[in-house]
Copies of this chain bind each other. A is one copy, B any other.
Amino acid sequence: MTLIKFIEIMAILVGAFSGFIEARRKRMDLVGVFTVAFITAFGGGTMRDLLLDKRPLFWVTHQEYAILIFVLALVASPLIRTLRQIVSERLIVIADAIGLGLFTIAGVASALAHGMPLFIASMMGVITGIFGGVLRDIVCNEVPMVFRDGRPYAICAFLGSWMFIGMRLYGIDYDTALWTSAFFITALRLISWKFGMRVPASGP
């Protein structure tokens, strides 16, 4: 299995896992657990492709991921408590940061390939990176966490998107630009987390 495939699967699992936890907090049944996990894992990329009118959707051509989440939902529901003990908070944050980096850059790259203007391309990157969680929170009837917790998350994705755009404009090859920017996002997210940096709030 290639590295990117491994990271891709891990990123999807992390998204699904955060969906499991949120669905369980809301006392959802099996159907809710699967749906919320699926939306969290694929919502960002789906939103981007709907806006760009790109088809078929990623999860449509890779049904193995949908099946994977389906099977996990069947086994996870009773195991969530145990899972949360095995999987430490730190591990979740790290895996999520890797997913944020990877999905964001995949989003920018896809938008540039569709000839989007640069600022829109950076927005598509951020949307790909964060909208899974946004849709998860909307379905769970919460104000999206990423809009209110004041921790740098979307901002890391935004800065990394511009790093990728800049590197491409300067003729740096695709793979180098992808891996450097994705790593930058992940590192920035983890550093800002470790040092408890804050995004300015809209004040009282």
| Minimum Cβ distance to chain B for residue A91 (Å) | 21
| Minimum Cβ distance to chain B for residue A61 (Å) | 8
Q: How large is the interface on A (under 10, 10 to 19, 20 to 34, 35 or more residues)?
A: 35 or more
A28 CB contact (under 8 Å) in B53, B66, B202: B202
Q: A32-61, CB under 8 A of B: which get 1 and which 0?
A: 110110000000001000111101010111
A141 CB-CB contact with B under 8 Å: yes
- Among residues 61 to 86 in chain A, which have CB atoms less than 8 Å away from a CB atom of chain B? 61, 63, 66-67, 70, 77-78, 80-81
Q: A143-158, CB under 8 A of B: which get 1 and which 0?
A: 1101111100111000
- B-side contacts of A174, CB under 8 Å: none
A139 CB contact (under 8 Å) in B78, B117, B138: B138
A23 CB-CB contact with B under 8 Å: yes
Nearest B residue to A202 via CB reads: B24
Given contacts A53-B53, A148-B26, A148-B28, contact A81 B203 (CB under 8 A): yes
A199 CB-CB contact with B under 8 Å: yes
Contact A147 B77 (CB under 8 A): no
Measured in the bound complex, the distance between the Cα atoms of B118 and A149 in whole Å is 40
Contact B77 A119 (CB under 8 A): no
Measured in the bound complex, the distance between the Cα atoms of B26 and A81 in whole Å is 31
- B-side contacts of A119, CB under 8 Å: 63, 66-67, 70
A194 CB-CB contact with B under 8 Å: no
Measured in the bound complex, the distance between the Cα atoms of B135 and A193 in whole Å is 30
11 more contacts with CB within 8 A, not counting A26-B148, A35-B147, are A24-B202, A26-B147, A27-B148, A28-B143, A29-B200, A30-B155, A31-B146, A32-B146, A50-B50, A61-B117, A138-B141
Contact A26 B140 (CB under 8 A): no
Contact A24 B78 (CB under 8 A): no
Nearest B residue to A61 via CB reads: B117
Given contacts A60-B117, A202-B33, contact A143 B140 (CB under 8 A): yes
